[in-house]
Amino acid sequence: MTEVETYSETVETARDYYNSDDADNFYYTIWGGEDIHIGLYKSEDESISDASQRTVKRMAAMAGKLDEDTRVLDLGAGYGGAARYLADTFGCDVVALNLSEVENERNRDKNVMAGLADQIKVVDGNFEDVPEPDNSFDLVWSQDSFLHSGNRDQVLAEAARVLKPGGDLIFTDPMQADDCPDGVLEPILERIHLESLGSPRFYREQAEKLGMEEQAFDEQTENLINHYTRVLEETESHEKELRESVSQDYIDHMKAGLQHWIDGGKKGYLSWGIFHFTK
């Protein structure tokens, strides 16, 4: 386990947030307890869980051949929905690295219930300092987690380090658009305690510096808007139920934050999609 004191301030802030009862109960209730990431929607009223699962399936398809010989590292694994899908569907061996001990305990319990505990190792850790050896994974996977680092170039460097030559990096991340004007994202950044977001250009440039080749970018920014709209709708429709386990202050701040994401996406300030790089 990576020592807590080695975490950057931004990562430590995210850790405290996701370990909180309010955040854990909110995400577990609204997202359905499997995934905490943006979904790919077939309709405006589709369930968040179904759309989130579609993202996992799309990413797995982009990764190419996956089987029992494929060793996967999931960076920022959340409740482990993707890890369980990869282990159950393809037989992959997965290391699920995540900073929230609260989420990790839910992940471990779910793996036991699914009969997948032998295939999925859940690690309390920090993706800025991955506790795994060089050249040890065939696939590094991440969904909407890199934004929580204040040192994203280091996160990509760690991903490249642990990948085997020829290995794949598949990830999504809420990003600012390459042409995003200065200052317009402050309402979003203040809400999530960040100084910046990555951008498609940033990830392309960093990956190139690390010797990784871009294979694809499945641009899906409209689904960022769709997703946060659906989360806001579900938050409002389940607000009475949420109040039983989530503070009103958290709910109010969440609704305001979700609207900022929706507005930023509609104004063209944000970007989201699935990146695929090969080492």
Strand partners, 176: 270
Answering whether pTM is above 0.75, one says yes
Rounded distance, CA 225 to CA 197, Å?
16
Q: Compute the distance between CA of residue 159 and CA of residue 129 in angstroms, rounded to an integer.
A: 10
| Structure confidence at residue 7 as a pLDDT band (50, 70, 90) | low
Provide the pLDDT confidence category of residue 2 given band limits of 50, 70 and 90: very low
Counting beta carbons within 10 angstroms of the beta carbon of residue 20, is it exposed (0 to 12), middle (13 to 18) or buried (19 or more)?
A: middle
Q: What is the pLDDT at residue 30? A: 83
Question: What HEC string does 12-46 produce?
Answer: HHHHHHHHCHHHHHHHHHHHCCCCCCCCCCCCCCC
Please tell me whether residue 171 adopts helix, strand or coil conformation: strand
6-20, 142-156, 214-228: segment of lowest average pLDDT = 6-20
pLDDT at 66 (0 to 100): 98
pLDDT at 121: 98
Residues 82-141: tens digit of each pLDDT: 999 999 999 999 999 999 899 999 999 999 999 999 999 999 999 999 999 999 999 999
* pLDDT over threshold 90, residue 193: no
Nearest to 74 by CA among 88, 64, 84: 84
Task: Compute the mean pLDDT over every residue in the chain, rounded to the nearest whole number.
Answer: 93
Separation CA 191–CA 35 (nearest Å): 21
pLDDT at 143 over 90: yes
* Integer Cα distance of 227 and 53 in angstroms: 13
